[in-house]
Amino acid sequence: MTKQLHTKKGTGKAIARLLGVSEHTVSDAIRGKIDTDTARKIRTMAIRNYGAIEIEI
């Protein structure tokens, strides 16, 4: 099983703009496809600031 985040529409775009990364990077981080320092920062920001919920697929 993989863990992903469920976010509201526009969250990825907002995080990408704030961190200066591509929306593709944010999408891969939220879907759990990458595990880098930046990806962990993206997931933490999504949960703490944007109300993302962790789900298992």
State the SS3 of the chain: CCEEEECCCCHHHHHHHHHCCCHHHHHHHHCCCCCCHHHHHHHHHHHHHHCCEEEEC
Domain range for 41 is 3-56
Give the chain's domain count. Answer: 1
- The arithmetic mean of pLDDT across residues 36-54, rounded, is 95
CATH code, domain carrying 27: 1.10.260
pLDDT score recorded for residue 3:
83
How much of the chain exceeds pLDDT 70, in percent? 98
